[in-house]
Amino acid sequence: MTTSEPYARRYSRRCRQRRMARRRNAMVIMAILAVLATVFALGYASGCSARQTDDEVKTPEPVVTAETVTPPAPEQSPVEPSAPPEETTEPARHRDDIVSEGRLLSYELQEVMQDCCEHYEVPYALALAIAEVETHFDPDAVSATGDYGLMQINSVNHEWLLEKGLDPMTHAGNIEAGIYIISQYLQSYGEPELALMAYNCGPGGARKLWDAGTYQTDYSRKVMTAFEYWTSVLEVD
């Protein structure tokens, strides 16, 4: 006689079978959902990539098109003539009116005298006046009292002048020596007429005249008159 399986056991077995079936179904559903999710994700990523590529490739057209504008050429103003150069009051280097008793002071010696006057700060007209009164522009003049050259430098002064590098026996050296001496007297005595008295009489002789109340001599008056004349000549081009 076959013994039937108890109901409780059969019920328990059916319950296990149903649970296992539900698990299998759930696993199948989860697998299907996973596949669908993967497919969806891949499709979404592909769509985003495609849209991004399209955005990168397409360049938005400008709303306003820029145009190149060429500025008009500036009007040319007429060229104004330049102003004439200002006139200078400096004496010309070479002049044909530096003449005394028909003797022209050579262009070379004119230049030497101008350069020395500028260097020693002596008026050029005063140097011309001394040279005219002394020798009438004769660079080779020699007096009976031992005075030499255009500026009549006495022989007693030659030694110390040579020590200073000034040779009064040459034309240029004689001019420079005379201008150097008068420049020293101008610095010492201030007034041109007193400086001229010292140039003609020596400092000792001039001092004796001043002590005696004499502040002018025929020589100083002649040179001052010539000084005024040459000043007016040099002002005329």
Q: Write the pLDDT tens digit of every residue in 33-75.
A: 777 777 666 665 555 554 444 444 444 444 334 444 344 444 4
Contacts of 105 (CB under 8 A, 6+ apart): 98, 99, 113, 128, 131, 137
126's torsion region: left (phi>0), alpha (psi -120 to 50) or beta? alpha
E strand or H helix that includes residue 228: helix 218-234
* Closest residue by Cα to residue 196 from 170, 169, 225, 171: 225
Q: Give per-residue pLDDT as tens, 188-218.
A: 999 999 999 999 999 999 999 999 999 999 9
CATH topology of domain 99-234: Lysozyme (1.10.530)
| Nearest residue to 211 via CA among 197, 222, 223 | 197
pLDDT for res 229: 97
pLDDT band at 236 (very low <50, low <70, confident <90, very high): confident
More confident residue, 165 or 45: 165
Tell which phi-psi region holds residue 146, choosing left (phi > 0), alpha (psi between -120 and 50) or beta: left
Contact of 91 with 124, CB cutoff 8 Å = yes
**pTM for this structure?**
0.62
> How are beta strands 153-154 and 147-148 bridged, if at all?
antiparallel
pLDDT at site 34? 74
Domain ranges of the chain: 1-58, 99-234
Give pLDDT, residue 55: 47
Q: Rounded to whole angstroms, how far apart are CA atoms 225 and 216?
A: 13
Structure tokens at 144: 């009976």
**Residues 78-96: tens digit of each pLDDT:** 444 445 445 444 556 789 9
Q: What's the whole-number mean pLDDT along residues 15-40?
A: 70
Q: What's the pLDDT band for 237 if we cut at 50, 70, 90?
A: low
Q: Are 226 and 132 in contact (CB under 8 A)?
A: yes
Residue 29 host element (H or E): helix 7-57
Note the pLDDT of residue 24. Answer: 73
